Amino acid sequence: MPETFDLLALGGDGIGPEVTGCALKVVEKACDSDIRVDITEELLHGACYEKTGTFLKETTLDHAKRADAVLVGATGGPQWDDVRPAGEEAMSDGLMQLRMELDAYAGLRPARAIACLEPLTPYRPGLTGGADVLVLREMTGGNFFAAERGVDRSPEAPRRGYDLGVYDEHQIARLAHVGFRLAGRRRRHLVSADKSNVMEMHVLWREVVSEVALEYPEITLEHLYADNASYQLARDPRRFDVIMADNLFGDMLSDQAGVIVASLGMLPSACLTGLPGDTGRVCGIFEPVHGSAPDITGKGIANPIGAILSAAMMFDYAFGRADIARNIEGAVTAALEGGARTPDLGGRLTSAAVTDAILAQLDS
């Protein structure tokens, strides 16, 4: 009897449904006789708003809470930027609401250099070879989830916009534990990026990360100011192993890490509710790092690899099948080596053709 997993797939907006469709084909192909994945597709954010008047349906949220994994494409678009569905908070976004409701606080965003793509990066030959960075981004706190936020528009005073960033020690500590444990499975080096030189929130950040470090004497912890971390990452990506940062800096550093792999469309991510033990599983939202890319929506040329590698992370973390994850990653690399590339990688293939090349590699 195969073990059966319940997967909720939410394509979302723009290129989201396009790349999610590609990833689902890979999910079906990658399963062996020991695993079955039952897929349910639902709407999220703008696509959901157009049909139902809300960014995230109650029934979808309920399903997400009991599912073994949630696979997301991307959300957002200019047409919904000013939409505030009745009864929802000031800044409403279906995906951010989902992350918050599931408490998926640990955002794992790996960027691993792929040798055949190095000529497409802005780096000199030899600078990215072997680079393997994991950005760990806090996903449910900080400025992005500020309770105190708004734009004051009083006729007597200049307009005033604010998002009051807050982290409590528990939020920082639980992320730091994930960071140290991840580093322990890798090259045992953890960089914590903050701005404790100018921000009180980050004074506490550095203090708590240093306290948690005492429990992990085998890991080398390095504190860097976030601006310097960004500079060092651009200069020499190979010096990094795991980089942990708050929601805002983690967002920026993980996009920046995409340069190592030549395109933002290559980057996968997992938003987890913790870190599984060596054999365990954990719930999570698996999604490419990129957004809905309105500029290329509907053209069939979006790079599906970020979504496909997110599905690989799902097999690893949510289904406890690291072997299948490695198979998918191997098939992606082999397809790229064989020249399967969308325009963002200098190629001419469609999303569907690149997916077919990956499926063919899984077959062989």
Contact residues: ligand NAI, CB under 6 A: 15, 19, 74-77, 95, 264-265, 287, 290-296, 302-303, 306, 342, 344
Element (H, E) at 195: none
- The partner in contact with residue 296, picked from ligand NAI, Mg ion, none with C-beta cut-offs of 5 to 8 angstroms by kind, is ligand NAI
Least distance in angstroms from the C-beta of 55 to ligand NAI = 12
Provide the residue type at 151 as one letter. Answer: V
* Cα dihedral across residues 217, 282, 293, 251: positive or negative: negative
- The partner in contact with residue 297, picked from Mg ion, ligand NAI, none with C-beta cut-offs of 5 to 8 angstroms by kind, is none
**DSSP one-letter string for 91-124:** S--HHHHHHHHHT--EEEEEEE--GGGGGGSSSP
Closer to ligand NAI at the Cβ: 68 or 344? 344
- How many chain residues are in contact with Mg ion, going by CB under 5 A? 2
Using rule CB under 5 A, residue 251 touches Mg ion: yes
Least distance in angstroms from the C-beta of 108 to Mg ion = 14
Exactly one of 225, 255, 334, 343 binds Mg ion (CB under 5 A); that residue is 255
- The partner in contact with residue 306, picked from ligand NAI, Mg ion, none with C-beta cut-offs of 5 to 8 angstroms by kind, is ligand NAI
Are 305 and 280 spatial neighbours (Cβ–Cβ below 8 Å)? no
- The partner in contact with residue 251, picked from Mg ion, ligand NAI, none with C-beta cut-offs of 5 to 8 angstroms by kind, is Mg ion
- The partner in contact with residue 292, picked from Mg ion, ligand NAI, none with C-beta cut-offs of 5 to 8 angstroms by kind, is ligand NAI
Measured CA to CA, the distance from residue 206 to residue 194 in angstroms comes to 7
Rounded to 5 degrees, what angle do the CA atoms 30, 109, 149 make? 130
Closer to Mg ion at the Cβ: 69 or 267? 267
Residue 103: phi, psi to the nearest 5? 55, 40
Are 69 and 7 spatial neighbours (Cβ–Cβ below 8 Å)? yes
Least distance in angstroms from the C-beta of 130 to ligand NAI = 25
Give per-residue burial for 219-252: e unless 16+ CB within 10 Å, then b: bebebbbbeebbebbeeebeebbbbbbbbbbbbb
Least distance in angstroms from the C-beta of 18 to ligand NAI = 9
Question: Where do contacts with Mg ion occur on this chain (CB under 5 A)?
Answer: 251, 255
